[in-house]
Structure 1
Amino acid sequence: MGEKLMIIDTDCGIDDAQAIMLALAAPSVRVLGVTCCFGNTDVENVCQNVLRVLTVCQRTQIPVFRGSAGPLVGAVKPFQDHFGTDGLGDILEHRDLDIWKDQVQEEHAVNALIRLVNEHSGQVSLVALGPLTNLALAVRLDPTFPQKLKNLYIMGGNMEGKGNVTPSAEFNFIMDPESAYIVLEEYQCPTSIATWEFTCRNKLTWEFFDELVGQDSAPARFMKRVTSRCWAFSRDAGVGMKEAFFGPGFVPYDAYAMAACVDGSVVTGQQEYAVRVELLGELGRGFMALDPTNKLKKSHRVSVMTSCDLSRFKSMLMRSLQQP
């Protein structure tokens, strides 16, 4: 199997960190760059979080680019503390030091996306793990950008109207619904989506989580540390949206989309749909509507993941924390 070229667009929280580590551990993957976006925390924290992950994995040669600090329309919504206010559990010291800022590339993330894809036209897999603002801006600056991608993998949206922020919208999409709308209307490349319900339905046990972060390696110790005081990783956190719908368990949300990109065989079921993101309504804003009967008359369909080979997925997660 040949080398897979990848760009990761992220709002690096704990689940993004796990997904990035999964990509870095894949011998067939070459990460061309990591572009950063607001989401789990502000974009400055996101850049620092990515740099910390790359440092732990001894992959600091991968360039990191600062991108969108807010959505296309409206003010930045208050950041939630699902993964801590800094996205990595609020346990890391030495934030906001100049050394971190000096390691971020001067080129803007959107310009970097366009340049890197132009340099490797038709070869790049783009994995989007946060709000889709950088991707929406890229297609606005260069309308030919999507057709130069090999494929696009998104963690976000929903397929059953179950939301984790509002009653019907998933976090990444509700943080910037206009960008999600633009991407799913204008990116005509092969597109696969790991929705919120899909990830929760394929949740893992807390016993596996303990085994995962209990490995004797720097990445495993890092993940154990950043999850140690994060309420999202507490067995006693109470009943949230995920538990109410799907029961208790460990869900590394972004890692499902990353695993699908790294090894497509991890996805054992998917369905093709035309989709559209709702922009109006008190309850419906940010909701991703599926259109199986093609009432929207759209020519482009996306692959919505429905089932996962959990044994293979767990093996990929275990390997991701065994390096270096």
Structure 2
Amino acid sequence: MSSEIKVTTPELVVVDTDPGTDDALALYMLLAADERKMVKLLAVTIVDGNTNADHGSRNALRVLKSVDRLEIPVYKGSPGPIILEPVPKDKSRVTHAGYHGEDGFGGAKFDKEPEMGLLQDETAVLALIKLAKEHKGKLNLLCLGPLTNVALAMKADPEFASNVKNVFIMGGNTAAVGNATSTAEFNFLHDPEAAHIVLASAQSHITLVPWETCQAHGLPYKWRTEDFGSAQTKQVELLNKIEAAVIEKSKNPTWIPCDSFITAAFIDPSIVKKLDVRHLTIELHGHRTRGQVVIDHLRECDDNVKVAKEIDLEKFKQLMYMAVDHPHCTI
């Protein structure tokens, strides 16, 4: 099946990310779209989430270096959520050794470390504010991790939200299905206050891919390993390396590259087959429900989010092939 995406002027985008394994794939997707002038990737900003901001910055540089795109600036951002709870003397903070491993890349071993001196001196929050001013009304934000950087930018600059064209977010849930707790998705739970600020402050519709949509569109591991993962390219080589341990220990019955779904929806909006437009906010205080998305079913507030409910998996696969220069790509 041939696939064609009609492009006029490339959409400008900054990706705010906490580079774990699915973030790496999403970055490759953006870089491939940038090369085809479908989008223009202006910068990568790093936030604490899947791993800490130091590991995340290193991972982003490693992805860029693998395809010789180190001209794209990387800015290190928030080292943690907006609110940190006090830690008793006899306990330490929870580490990041979750799904993506302590370093975000599954503990994979590399011969060389990226040059960390390539990181920009400016912080991610200041960079976001600056870029939104420079490209007022034209800059899209693609948010793949917790929303700490974006929320801080909104609080630091009253014009930031109105300067941004659109916000695309992977996070939250719409049916109280969680992957970090029974009721909360990881990105929103990691910094609920940030998610609350962004949903309340964004002055244009947000496009959201929630956890349930990702879960409903998981792909067979056989396709991931024997088809997608069989291409002999630099991108696939890195992805296979960092995902080896993650796939081995995964409890999901299918492969769910969450961040790639929202990235695909940004690059080609037609990939979303069904949208549900609602007002969303976040539960901050519930003992069992902190971080859960709350939907205004009574329609008492203005709609603020377009929720992607169904994804065209065939189009999605083509964007995945495009991301890694796979021979099956027809774009």
Query: Which residue in 2 is equivalent to 1:310?
Result: 313
Is this contact kept in 2: 1:213–1:321, CA < 8 A? Answer: no
Question: Of the candidates 27, 41, 45, which is equivalent to residue 55 of structure 2?
Answer: 45
Match of 2:261 among 240, 256, 259: 256
**Structure 2 unmatched ranges of 5 or more:** 1-7, 86-92, 327-331
Matched position secondary structure for 1:17:
helix
Residues 1:100 and 2:115 are matched in the alignment: yes
Mark the runs of 5 or more structure 1 residues left unpaired by the alignment: none
**TM-score for the superposition, normalised by structure 2:** 0.90
Per the alignment, in what secondary structure is the counterpart of residue 229 of structure 1? helix
> What does residue range 164-179 of structure 1 map to in structure 2 within 5 Å?
164-179=179-194
CA distance in 2, matches of 1:80, 1:301: 34
Residue 169 of structure 1, CA deviation = 0.3
Q: CA deviation at 1:100?
A: 3.0
Q: 2:295 aligns with which of 286, 290, 306?
A: 290
1:91 aligns with 2:108: yes
Distance 2:319 2:271 in 1: 9
Pick from 55, 73, 79: which aligns with 2:96? 79
Do the aligned residues in 2 keep the contact of 1:150 with 1:190 (CA within 8 Å)? no
Say if 1:118 and 1:148, in contact at 8 Å, map to a contact too: yes
Deviations 1:96-127 (A, max 9, x none): x6x63201000000000010111111111100
Instruction: Give the superposition deviation at 1:77.
Output: 4.3
Kept in 1: contact 2:95–2:102 (CA 8 A): no
Deviations 1:246-292 (A, max 9, x none): xx111101000100000000000010010110001111100011113
Q: For residue 228 of structure 1, report the CA deviation from its aligned partner.
A: 1.7
RMSD across aligned positions (CA): 1.6
Q: Residue in 2 aligned with 1:3? A: 10
Alpha-carbon distance between aligned partners in 2 of 1:128 and 1:77, rounded to the nearest angstrom: 23
Question: Aligned partners of 1:59 and 1:30: how far apart in 2?
Answer: 13
List, as ranges, runs of 4+ consecutive aligned residues in structure 1 with deviation greater than 4 Å. none
* Amino acid in the other structure paired with 2:308: M
Is the Cα–Cα contact under 8 Å of residues 135 and 183 in structure 1 kept in the other structure?
Answer: yes
Structure-1-length-normalised TM-score: 0.92
Q: CA deviation at 1:301?
A: 2.0
Q: 2:271 aligns with which of 266, 274, 277?
A: 266
Cα distance in 2 between the residues matched to 1:277 and 1:94: 43
Q: CA deviation at 1:94?
A: 6.1
1:275 is aligned to 2:280: yes
Identity of aligned residues (%): 34
What is the distance in 2 between the residues matched to 1:275 and 1:80?
30
